[in-house]
């Protein structure tokens, strides 16, 4: 869990998240990077929800953390 929290703090500093703008071109490097970050979040959170007791709490904490960061 500490590893996830550290990664979560670091991930919000990624340019793809800090400067998010929707991109229409599916082959653009920005879109590919956005998709990669989205898939990484999805894979890790799916693992927590399906394999870790109380994993849904990790999902809830992540969503709350991201909402707070978006509002800042």
Give the mean pLDDT of 5-19. 77
Per residue in 20-65, pLDDT tens?
777 778 788 878 888 888 888 888 888 878 888 888 888 888 888 8
Residue 51, CA atoms < 13 Å, CB-side half-sphere: 6
Angle at alpha carbon of residue 60, lines to 56 and 40, rounded to 5° = 80
* CA gap 41, 58 in Å, rounded: 11
Per the confidence metrics, is the pTM higher than 0.75? no
């Amino acid at each position: 869990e500490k590893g996830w929290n550290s990664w979560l703090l670091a991930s919000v500093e990624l340019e793809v998240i800090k400067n998010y703008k929707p991109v229409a071109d599916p082959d653009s490097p920005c879109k590919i990077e956005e998709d990669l970050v989205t898939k990484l979040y999805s894979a890790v959170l799916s693992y927590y929800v399906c394999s870790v007791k109380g994993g849904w709490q990790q999902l809830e904490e992540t969503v709350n953390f991201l909402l707070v960061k978006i509002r800042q």
